[in-house]
Structure 1
């Protein structure tokens, strides 16, 4: 019997937390405004109090009455200052409490952003290469097909397959094969446009979605993938890949489109293998 995992406290949605932060910021501004307003008001009251008690005594010339009134004025003003100081300390404590609460909310938002990014990576990205995984690639393909059909724009699907990965794994181990896949994924990401999407289907197979791409422009992408070299364990090795591509036909399903691209890939792969065997036989 497996132990129960500790339950996590319920999280507040990010929009709600953002609204709470905005509310707290408004409360801090209001309290600071009242604090400054109170300071101005107390200063004016002090000035008026001193003037109201000092000027009549000076005008009357009665020193004893003037001293008595001035003493009362000073006592009242001291009491007013003490009350104002107590009010100021209270407001500062409230502002400090709100700021602490605001800091907690900002920290919670930061943690939520990290969790959201982690969930996104697990759900959308391939953990080995950082490219989109098969599921997200198929979802994007359906969206691009819908867009191409709606606007009558071209869509090209490019399939890629690394050559000789099995031999590399047998000779150097699977760590070398993983490093080769990562290296190729990095080159592929740099070879495509920002509007394109590179997907790792699994193993050594890759898919690239090329919206609004003319057939001859696929060759530009493939040209950027030339001269592939791979360094591992102090050795530099050249490697190659096979490619096949096709264009979307209106009304075609995603499965049919991928199948045609896959068929084109393996036709080219068999042709390249036959050429290599022919060259080997001649030598």
Structure 2
């Protein structure tokens, strides 16, 4: 029972790696075929130059020359066919058995060479070399190797009976061929099982690494992202803002912060329920994400409060963006509540060439936001530090109150 369970487990594992083994066999065959061609041509050159006094040996040399010449042609075609097969991720059905087909061809050719050699000797080295070579070069499933070697031995054993009447010699050669086939089968099985275990282990390691990478990414997301909206959380936003402030100081560039607070959000939760409130937050986050540049950073700062970090952005440009966002919110109904939402915004800017701490900018945006809500909501208020800057960039009427509340 234990042996049958092992065989079933091995068969299941073989199916898992057979495609990988096929690609590996093609890669080996692509190199080995041209190596065999080189050996064939060497044999053709050597045996074509040999000269013998008796007709029997001359005939044998001619047969060997012809056999190696034919094999050189066949293996050249095999090399080209292998290159074609390697270029196709999903090969045709016939090509899936190319390694097995080549193995059968090599073994049949070795049987023919062995029969030719019987004219001048009793050795079966050609068959033995081919059997061992197939088991070492190709990674074939044990059943395929068993069938190929068994057919090869049967063909050789039958053909050897046509070449000699010496029973003892015939039995010796047949048993030597059987022993070589059995050892080749054992080597093939051992190499195959080692390949299967290594391939499955490699896949397990890759899967484990992928799982670890996914877990690392999930942990990073949990540490840096708000789970509801997918925006940066407060801690990550502060880290990014410190980095951008440092860069702005080095480059003497402007930087703006925009704090956004949704108006009457508690009323939305009380009237429509918290799931609808969550849907509002997600919709607002998506709307803002599509409205800003890729270099801008958006965070959910807490509750219904959002924060935008705008690198290389002057107060005038930031004010323009704030008003565009505010109008977009007011004009975009949200399905879960059947109406749009409005927002109050506070804006602060570090002008180019100046140095301000992040805490200072945050306090300015917070105060400006408080003033926007105090003045009736649905408006943008610029922090007092930037009133003079805006006055020089725009007309004075846009420096403080930029819009009247929506009715």
TM-score range (shorter-chain normalised) is: 0.7 to 0.9
Measured on the aligned residues, the alpha-carbon RMSD in Å equals 3.8
Aligned counterpart, 2:321: 220
The within-5 A match list for 1:2-13 is none
**Against the structure 1 CA distance between its residues 106 and 274, is the aligned structure 2 distance closer, same or farther, given a 3 Å change threshold?**
closer
Quote the Cα distance in structure 2 between the aligned partners of 1:99 and 1:270.
68
Shift of 1:117: 2.5
Aligned counterpart, 1:167: 267
SS at match of 1:128: coil
Q: Which residue of 330, 333, 342 maps to 1:229?
A: 333
SS at match of 2:256: strand
Q: Does structure 1 conserve the Cα–Cα contact (< 8 Å) formed by 2:258 and 2:322?
A: no
Richer in strand (by share): 1
Larger Rg: 2
Quote the Cα distance in structure 1 between the aligned partners of 2:171 and 2:378.
112
Shift of 1:29: 6.3
**Against the structure 1 CA distance between its residues 141 and 75, is the aligned structure 2 distance closer, same or farther, given a 3 Å change threshold?**
same
Shift of 1:266: 2.2
> Within the alignment, does 1:239 sit opposite 2:303 as a pair?
no
Tell me the alpha carbon deviations over residues 38-86 of structure 1, each in whole angstroms, 9 at most, x when there is no partner. Answer: xx7995994697268413159xxxx758776565444333322221121
Quote the Cα distance in structure 1 between the aligned partners of 2:165 and 2:361.
105
The within-5 A match list for 1:1-283 is 46=110, 50=114, 53-56=117-120, 72-218=172-318, 219-220=320-321, 222-225=323-326, 226=328, 227-232=331-336, 235-249=337-351, 250-273=354-377
Q: Does structure 1 conserve the Cα–Cα contact (< 8 Å) formed by 2:263 and 2:378?
A: no
Quote the Cα distance in structure 2 between the aligned partners of 1:65 and 1:203.
99
SS at match of 1:237: coil
Aligned counterpart, 2:56: none
Q: Does structure 2 conserve the Cα–Cα contact (< 8 Å) formed by 1:169 and 1:177?
A: yes
Shift of 1:161: 0.8
Q: Does structure 1 conserve the Cα–Cα contact (< 8 Å) formed by 2:257 and 2:308?
A: yes
Unaligned runs of at least 5 residues, structure 2: 1-19, 40-102, 123-162, 380-403
**TM norm structure 1:** 0.72
Q: Which has the higher contact order (CA 8 A, sep 6+)?
A: 1
Shift of 1:106: 2.3
Tell me the alpha carbon deviations over residues 222-245 of structure 1, each in whole angstroms, 9 at most, x when there is no partner. Answer: 41452132222xx51232001121
**TM norm structure 2:** 0.52
Tell me the alpha carbon deviations over residues 170-193 of structure 1, each in whole angstroms, 9 at most, x when there is no partner. Answer: 323333322222221111111111
Q: Does structure 2 conserve the Cα–Cα contact (< 8 Å) formed by 1:57 and 1:65?
A: no
How many residues align? The count is 244
Quote the Cα distance in structure 1 between the aligned partners of 2:257 and 2:237.
11
Unaligned runs of at least 5 residues, structure 1: 1-24
Report the more deviating stretch, 153-162 or 40-49: 40-49
Shift of 1:256: 0.7
Quote the Cα distance in structure 2 between the aligned partners of 1:92 and 1:127.
48
SS at match of 1:242: strand
SS at match of 1:229: coil
SS at match of 1:157: strand
